[in-house]
């Protein structure tokens, strides 16, 4: 019986001198000082804002490398030459499953399964992006102001647009257009449809908001404000109308009662509020301001501090969009000095992803494309005046419309079926782009209940007091 083997002692690599760690044979360069690995790593994954063709080419090259390695019986991640000593061996075997639960394993798989789209899918998607709009309408005298929100598309397929002191409604089903109202002496600064598409709210530069009945073409009431500045953004939640002021205060108005002001939020935004959006279930809402701040609020309270106040953007935050399939996922876009799309988990306040677009972002919307799934479409101002589409969660650019307008795009909104994007620009054109496919998603019972009540009794609730 042979005596037991004694464990061999190895010198730890951490004790190697600098000279030992970096010196190599005179005919073989040091791999550590070589830039080859850096160039290879940089070429494997292109910038998210690169063209769709660049992403397709990079993914095709990666697949080709794996096929060649497999045919040669090699591991694509292995190294033929070793330039440094191997690390010391463990004294006992490593149990890979000792700290891994089924839940953590599933989450890890979810993070690694959609790192990039298959080249065939990405190529097919890029071919479907139009190079020209389906329709172009004139928008004369539109105010070329980045911070305003002057176009909105209703659930009933009507588009409302503000042109200086006049509001027009275009029927996307019939093609007819009509003047809703004029506001002599006041500029239109924001427009929004109610949830059921029966009412239009019109924000003005004097701080007031008018509410109009689209069926009777009549003004129901005017919501006066203690603020003297313009209303650049506002949003509906059933009978509640939430608006942002020039000085940064957010107001909640109940349109059913004569004393409409039921709450306000101060001291979060220090400049104009230029974006407000309610989450689909109505439990949270977000606001963005010219102070570069994104605020996430509990919509069940009419006052109080924000749940989270994020300062990652480096420019005004106007573009905001809640994800339709992940209720806690919010996308926000920054202005000229930021040019980035930030993705937030509104339960924890953590930023979960980032896309640098290299252009001012004026609006964000979520859409669905067959084969590639959900995407975020961004409209841009300076310098590109373009439209960009990014797959989520891979963040891969799936399409773009270069120079979509001759001037910066001011706003973008989706049709009620989620297939067509309407964009309006300082070039006084309203353009329509077919970008997405129709997708009907089953909603939870709670959201069904919420949707069934959304506007169902608005006719009874909207009484002028």
Q: Give residue-wise pLDDT tens across range 302-324.
A: 888 999 999 999 999 999 999 99
Residue 90 has pLDDT above 50, yes or no: no
**Does residue 30 sit within a domain?**
no
**Does residue 424 sit within a domain?**
yes
Averaged pLDDT for residues 83-106:
45
What is the number of domains present in the chain? 1
Residue 93 burial (CB < 10 Å; 0-12/13-18/19+)? exposed
Are the C-beta atoms of 134 and 420 separated by less than 8 Å? Answer: yes
**Does residue 370 sit within a domain?**
yes
Averaged pLDDT for residues 65-89:
57
CATH number, position 311: 2.130.10.10
pLDDT of residue 83: 54
330 vs 8, higher pLDDT: 330
**Does residue 39 sit within a domain?**
no
10 vs 51, higher pLDDT: 51
Query: Which among 318, 309, 328, 397 is positioned nearest to 364, based on CA atoms?
Result: 318
Helix ranges (H only) for 191-284 are: none
Angle subtended at Cα 299 by Cα 298 and Cα 303, rounded to the nearest 5 degrees? 80
Residue 385 has pLDDT above 50, yes or no: yes
Kindly report the number of other CB atoms within 10 A of residue 97's CB atom.
Answer: 7
Residue 197 phi, psi (nearest 5): 80, 15
Residue 77 phi, psi (nearest 5): -95, 0
Are the C-beta atoms of 458 and 199 separated by less than 8 Å? Answer: yes
Residue 56 has pLDDT above 60, yes or no: yes
pLDDT of residue 124: 86
> Collapsing DSSP states into helix, strand and coil, what is residue 13?
helix
**Does residue 97 sit within a domain?**
no
Alpha carbon 442 to its chain centroid, in Å, reads 22
> Collapsing DSSP states into helix, strand and coil, what is residue 71?
helix
With residue 18 as reference, give the H or E element that holds it: helix 18-22
Query: Across-strand partners of 430?
Result: 137, 424
Residue 39 phi, psi (nearest 5): -65, -40
pLDDT of residue 304: 87
Q: Could you tell me how many helices (H) and strands (E) the chain has, helices first? A: 7, 28
392 vs 16, higher pLDDT: 392
DSSP state at residue 165:
T
Are the C-beta atoms of 407 and 383 separated by less than 8 Å? Answer: no
Averaged pLDDT for residues 201-216:
96
pLDDT of residue 456: 43
Are the C-beta atoms of 306 and 299 separated by less than 8 Å? Answer: no
Residue 46 has pLDDT above 60, yes or no: yes
Average pLDDT across the chain, whole number: 81
> Collapsing DSSP states into helix, strand and coil, what is residue 32?
coil
Alpha-carbon gap, residue 410 to 360, rounded angstroms: 10
Containing domain of residue 263, as a range?
134-460
pLDDT of residue 299: 95
Percent of the chain's residues with pLDDT above 70: 70
From residue 389, alpha-carbon distances to 157, 207, 273, 344, 408 in Å are 23, 35, 26, 18, 17
pLDDT of residue 117: 79
pLDDT of residue 79: 56
241 vs 120, higher pLDDT: 241
**Does residue 174 sit within a domain?**
yes
Token couple for 249: 């205060």
With residue 430 as reference, give the H or E element that holds it: strand 429-434
DSSP state at residue 140:
T
Are the C-beta atoms of 248 and 291 separated by less than 8 Å? Answer: yes
pLDDT of residue 216: 94
**Does residue 303 sit within a domain?**
yes
Token couple for 153: 């598309």
Query: Which among 369, 433, 436 is positioned nearest to 136, based on CA atoms?
Result: 433
Averaged pLDDT for residues 386-396:
95
Are the C-beta atoms of 204 and 189 separated by less than 8 Å? Answer: yes
Residue 42 has pLDDT above 60, yes or no: no
- What is this structure's pTM? 0.74
Averaged pLDDT for residues 394-399:
94
**Does residue 28 sit within a domain?**
no
């Amino acid at each position: 019986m042979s005596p037991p083997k004694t464990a061999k002692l190895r010198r730890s690599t951490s004790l190697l001198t600098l000279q030992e760690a970096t010196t190599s044979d005179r005919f073989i360069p040091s791999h550590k000082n070589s830039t080859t690995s850096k160039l290879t790593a940089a070429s494997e994954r292109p910038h998210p804002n690169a063209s769709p063709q660049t992403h397709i080419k990079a993914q095709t090259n990666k697949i080709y490398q794996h096929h060649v390695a497999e045919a040669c019986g090699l591991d694509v991640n292995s190294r033929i030459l070793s330039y440094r000593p191997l690390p010391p061996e463990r004294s006992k075997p490593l149990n890979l499953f000792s700290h891994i639960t089924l839940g953590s394993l599933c989450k890890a798989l979810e993070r690694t399964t959609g790192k990039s789209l298959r080249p065939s899918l990405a190529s097919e998607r890029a071919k479907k992006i139009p190079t020209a709009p389906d329709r172009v309408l004139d928008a004369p005298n539109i105010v070329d102001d980045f911070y305003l929100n002057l176009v909105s598309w209703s659930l009933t397929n009507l588009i409302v647009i503000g042109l200086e002191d006049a509001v027009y409604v275009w029927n996307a089903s019939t093609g007819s257009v009509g003047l809703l109202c004029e506001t002599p002496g006041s500029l239109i600064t924001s427009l929004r449809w109610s949830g059921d598409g029966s009412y239009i709210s019109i924000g003005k530069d004097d701080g007031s908001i008018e509410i109009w009945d689209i069926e009777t073409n009549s003004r129901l009431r005017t919501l006066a404000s203690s603020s003297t500045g313009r209303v650049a953004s506002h949003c509906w939640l059933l009978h509640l109308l939430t608006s942002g002021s020039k000085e940064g205060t957010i107001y909640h108005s109940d349109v059913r009662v004569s004393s409409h002001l039921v709450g306000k939020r101060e001291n979060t935004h220090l400049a104009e509020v230029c974006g407000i959006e309610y989450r689909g279930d109505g439990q949270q809402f977000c606001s963005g301001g010219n102070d570069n701040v994104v605020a996430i609020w509990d919509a069940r309270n009419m006052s109080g501090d924000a749940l989270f106040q994020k300062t990652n953007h480096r420019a005004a935050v106007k573009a905001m969009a809640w994800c339709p399939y992940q209720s806690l996922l919010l996308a926000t876009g920054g202005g000229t000095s930021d040019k980035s799309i930030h993705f937030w988990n509104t339960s924890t306040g953590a930023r979960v992803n980032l896309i640098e677009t290299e252009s001012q972002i004026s609006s964000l919307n979520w859409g669905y494309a067959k084969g590639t799934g959900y995407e975020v479409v961004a409209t841009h101002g300076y310098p590109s005046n373009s439209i960009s589409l990014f797959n989520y969660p891979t963040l891969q650019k799936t399409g773009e419309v270069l120079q979509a307008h001759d001037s910066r795009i001011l706003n973008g909104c989706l049709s009620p079926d989620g297939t067509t994007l309407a964009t309006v620009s300082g070039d006084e054109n309203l353009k329509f782009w077919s970008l997405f496919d129709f997708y009907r998603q089953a909603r939870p019972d709670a959201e069904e209940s919420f949707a069934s009540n959304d506007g169902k009794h608005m006719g009874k609730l909207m009484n002028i007091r």
